[in-house]
Structure 1
């Protein structure tokens, strides 16, 4: 099949609106990648603006680490975007097949990624969907940033100078994008670059969970200082209620581990300090991390198992906190003994998960 001066060959990939095919200039033999878009699908899914944005954005960009758009052709039913060919495929496939990279190679690729992205930002282009699948590799092993369908320009910012459209890929999206209060396009791109660097050097994602509810909670936890309590939103608060089980909205997950929660009028800082004192007094070893306390009791008796659980404080309001105690493993009786002492000494209303005393959480927000 020929389109203009290009002869189309094998399919390199497929997307929502069509295919990407290898192509060659019939006069020079030079190879290209041609993205073939179906006009009917684009109109049906109301993605005309996204395609126009990608084309207009790529016309602005000329950088060795950004995929280049050479020309756009069209027929009655198709749009043909003639792009630079990156024969090495996606960086995702490379890491999936060969595993993590050494530091020298990882540094080289990351420098290219930052060079290309810095150029985009200088041109006023924010990518907003940086991920391994959108970073291609050419025949020489150099990277090419691709897929600008979700990109934004300065004119897309509101009066506050921020972008407000929530978009991107779950494992790579910056926490401020999810906060729904506006975000800086350049800063959110840099967050995604950090995730990419992590995967390049470890071959695994820094934020990965079995469902989106847990996944989206992780980046917000990272923004909290070790001394700060987690701020709990209404959705998470309702989810704590055993009488309102929201698990059906998400994928199935293991809920077999026992948790105990109670409310307290003490400050978050005071709570964590008191929990540490009580736990230490009862023979527990305490580890502090990201606003949480991990409590470990090593038992040498053959009849008992070592006990480990995590204590975390969620702030509902400055005058009301929720303390959650979740066991990882170990002796249940020892776990409940400590939980009972903590709730009696620090709490205002103890609540055992999956019993009916969880209405405090809902009442306290009225």
Structure 2
């Protein structure tokens, strides 16, 4: 692999500089084969190593592989030379949301649309065990249609980063956007901290300025910890109520994402069948028999080499087997057999299997099931002729219930259709 002039790895043409940070630069790029526009983040390996950020860079790659969502910037490919790492990412032609806000506050409907997209992206990240920890307008990009894209997962934490008490302890983020408990350094829930940051963003969208500000950092932190802010007179009453619940200094009393989505102000403008979360899609078709198991698969053209590298190599870098939110395996069984087995397993747990989007199924708890709140997403990829990659992940519901289902029922039942488990040592050993 070589860099020849302004062509990287003989695959991408570099354009003008978009931005620059401490460890690298971001350029406009173009895929020479497809002609598609991309952005290319070029990172200096030596600088990363000197700053002891190698593990953080690996984590960012792993995180971006897990959070494929319409409102998260997509990572297409990772390449490297002896001195550089190249992240080929989705190009957000609208630039940073921050730049848009320098022109003033947004109208209510425009602010609500972006906030809806933000909340759904963050909810998806949390369902994957990813906590962003640095949500702010500078890390929110816009595409050519003005839709929001969450970016920059450099400070994100994975579920396994928690200590035994289930909390995170690393103080990080941007001062005006951090939650009080992060400042307090007594441990915090990543999800609750992200929700606070989302509230600050909502305030900025509607007001055009920050809810908490002081040139003295100590005074700023005092205001945050006491939730001292004042809404401008043009804020609707519904927004004031919503913000008061987001800006609760007690994270245990702070509103959840589910409650935000249930609020009357948030729901305005959302169609009954609008897809706002790839993991939860309404009006699916139930799969009840082999006659109804024709499922369009995610084909090899849709699966990059980077995806496969992440599935087979990155999945085990950070998470112990008994903590994984995802269950991954390959199979050479025919698709109807795979789906039939999933239906059988679902029935044993009183879960209904529904077809969703391309290559996607959902196992949903029925009302009479003890697991009625548990939803498990299933993605099926055709990675070669008659060879499939299947991933199960928790979409919603209790994490302990989900892990019990995996270890006690799902893994043993699926063994007969599994060619190889990915990242599950006990099963890999049993197959030898």
- TM bucket by the smaller chain? 0.5 to 0.7
Q: CA deviation at 1:38?
A: 0.4
Q: CA deviation at 1:180?
A: 1.3
Distance in 2 (CA, whole Å) between partners of 1:197 and 1:85 is 24
Distance in 2 (CA, whole Å) between partners of 1:137 and 1:191 is 21
1:11 corresponds to which residue?
17
Q: After the TM superposition, which residues 281-360 of structure 1 pair with which residues of structure 2 at under 5 Å, given as runs?
A: none
2:7 corresponds to which residue?
2
Q: CA deviation at 1:28?
A: 1.7
1:125 corresponds to which residue?
130
Q: CA deviation at 1:223?
A: 8.1
TM-score normalised by L of structure 2: 0.51
2:197 corresponds to which residue?
192
1:177 corresponds to which residue?
182
2:302 corresponds to which residue?
none
1:22 matches 2:22: no
Distance in 1 (CA, whole Å) between partners of 2:125 and 2:97 is 19
2:378 corresponds to which residue?
none
Equivalent position SS for 1:136: strand
Equivalent position SS for 1:37: strand
Distance in 1 (CA, whole Å) between partners of 2:17 and 2:216 is 32
Distance in 1 (CA, whole Å) between partners of 2:104 and 2:185 is 35
1:102 matches 2:112: no
Query: Could you tell me which of 28, 33, 41 is aligned with 2:47?
Result: 41
Q: After the TM superposition, which residues 84-95 of structure 1 pair with which residues of structure 2 at under 5 Å, given as runs?
A: 84-95=90-101
1:80 matches 2:83: no
2:150 corresponds to which residue?
145
Distance in 1 (CA, whole Å) between partners of 2:168 and 2:110 is 34
TM-score normalised by L of structure 1: 0.60
Cα displacement string for residues 113-164 of structure 1 (whole angstroms, at most 9, x for unaligned residues): 0010100001110000000100000111001000001111111000100111
Distance in 2 (CA, whole Å) between partners of 1:122 and 1:223 is 31
Equivalent position SS for 1:213: helix
Equivalent position SS for 2:214: coil
Q: CA deviation at 1:212?
A: 1.0
Judged with a 3 Å threshold, the aligned counterparts in structure 2 of structure 1 residues 49 and 223 are, in CA distance, closer, same or farther, namely farther
Q: CA deviation at 1:222?
A: 1.7
1:265 corresponds to which residue?
none
Q: Gapped runs of 5+ residues in structure 1? A: 231-366
Provide runs of 4+ in structure 1 moved above 4 Å.
Answer: none
Distance in 1 (CA, whole Å) between partners of 2:141 and 2:110 is 15
Equivalent position SS for 1:70: strand
Equivalent position SS for 2:169: coil
Counterpart contact for 2:168–2:190, Cα < 8 Å: yes
Cα displacement string for residues 83-119 of structure 1 (whole angstroms, at most 9, x for unaligned residues): 00001111001110x2100000000000000010100
Q: Which has the larger radius of gyration?
A: 1
Distance in 2 (CA, whole Å) between partners of 1:99 and 1:91 is 11
Distance in 2 (CA, whole Å) between partners of 1:223 and 1:174 is 13
Distance in 2 (CA, whole Å) between partners of 1:223 and 1:187 is 18
Q: Gapped runs of 5+ residues in structure 2? A: 1-5, 230-243, 250-432
Distance in 1 (CA, whole Å) between partners of 2:33 and 2:58 is 29
Distance in 1 (CA, whole Å) between partners of 2:216 and 2:104 is 25
Distance in 2 (CA, whole Å) between partners of 1:127 and 1:170 is 15
Equivalent position SS for 1:171: helix
